[in-house]
Amino acid sequence: MKNVPTLLRRELNAYFASVLGYIVLMFFLVVMGVTFAVIVSYLNRGPTQMTAMKIMFSMFWLPSLVVIPMITMRLLAEEKRAGTLEMLMTAPVTDFEVVFAKWLGAVVLYTLMWALTVLYVLILHHFSGGTAALDLGPIATGYIGVLVIGQFLIAIGLLASSMTKNQVAAALMSFALIFLILIVLNWLGYLFQGGPVNKIVRALSPSDHMEDFSRGIVDLRPVMLYLSGAVWALFVATRVVESRKWR
C-alpha cells in the first residue's frame, strides 16, 4: 500500500485540473445552500420538533444522488478508455492499490464538500445567539453518518465505473444503484408497514440510519454494514480490473 499516497495525490489533482471538481463543488453548494435557506425560512414560521441540521441531514440523499455518480464516473472508465490504465498497471503497483486510491480520492473530495457545510452550523450558531438551540453532539454524529454512508455509495460508484469504458454509462449505472439504495429502499419501507419486510428494509435503509445518526445515535450495526459494503464493492471492483487477466 506504499503507493497509495502518490496515487491519491494524482487523483485529487485530477479533480481540480479539469473543471469537473469545480462543477461538482458548485452544484453541491447551490443545492445545499438552497436547501439550507428553505429550511431556515420554514423554521422561522414557528416552533417545531425538528432542528435545522436534522432536516439538513435528512436531505443528504438529494446531493448524493447526483454528486456521487459525478465524482466516481471517471475514476476507472476514463483510464480504460484512454488506455492510461495500461501505463498505471505496468508500473510496479498492485491493482488494489489503484482501486483503493481512487476510492480514497473520491472520499476525500466528498468529505471536503460536506466540510464546507460546517459554515451553515456557524451561521446558525451566530444567529441563534449560541443558546441550547444548537446541540453540537447530534450535528457531529450526523456528519459521521453522512461520511459512513457516503463512502459506501462512492465504492458503489467506483464499482460501476470499473465495468465500462464509457463515463456516461458509469454515471447512469451508479445513479441507478444509488437510487435503488437511497430511494427505493425507503419507499419499500412505506409500502410494507409492519411485518418482516418492513423490518428488513428498515435495517438496510440509509434514510432510517441517517435519522438515527442525526439524533445523536451511532449504532455500530449500520456502521459495520456500510464499511463492509464498501470493502465488498472495492474487492469486486479490483476483481473487475483484474478481469483483463482471465478474459
Partner 1 sequence: MQSMIKVENLTKRYAGVTALNNVSFEVNRGEIVGFLGPNGAGKSTTMRILTGFIPASSGRAEVAGLDVFDDSLEVRRHVGYMAENNPLYVDMRVNEYFKFRAKLKGVPHADRKDHIQAVLQLCGLTDVRNRVIGHLSKGYRQRVGLADALLAEPDLLILDEPTIGLDPVQIRQVRQLIKDLGKRHTILLSSHILPEVEMTCNRVIIIHHGRILASDAPENLMKTLNAGGLINVEVRGSESEVQAKLRGVDGVNSLQTRAGEDGYVRVTVEPKAGADPREGIYRVVAGSGWALRELSRTRTTLEDIFVQITRDEDEAEEERREQRRSLLR
Q: Which residues contact partner 1 (rule: CB under 8 A)?
A: 3, 6-7, 9-10, 13-14, 17-18, 82-84, 86-94, 244-247
**Please, which residue, 51 or 161, has the CB nearer to partner 1?**
161
Least separation in angstroms between residue 237's CB and partner 1 is 18
**Please, which residue, 95 or 145, has the CB nearer to partner 1?**
95
Distance (Å, rounded) from C-alpha 47 to C-alpha 214? 19
The number of beta carbons lying within 10 Å of the beta carbon of residue 24 is 20
**Please, which residue, 89 or 172, has the CB nearer to partner 1?**
89
**Please, which residue, 65 or 89, has the CB nearer to partner 1?**
89
Nearest to 16 by CA among 105, 98, 76, 126: 105
- CA–CA distances in Å: residue 59 to residues 93, 94, 161, 210, 220: 39, 38, 25, 10, 22
Task: Decide if 95 contacts 242 (C-beta within 8 A).
Answer: yes
Least separation in angstroms between residue 162's CB and partner 1 is 16
Q: Is 189 left (phi over 0), alpha (psi -120 to 50) or beta?
A: alpha
Least separation in angstroms between residue 96's CB and partner 1 is 12
DSSP secondary structure string for all residues of 147-205: HHHHHHHHHHHHHHHHT-S-HHHHHHHHHHHHHIIIIIHHHHHHHS-SHHHHHHHHHH-
**Please, which residue, 89 or 108, has the CB nearer to partner 1?**
89
Distance (Å, rounded) from C-alpha 139 to C-alpha 123? 14
- Which residues 6+ apart lie within 8 Å of 8 measured at CB? 101, 104, 105, 108
**Please, which residue, 221 or 247, has the CB nearer to partner 1?**
247
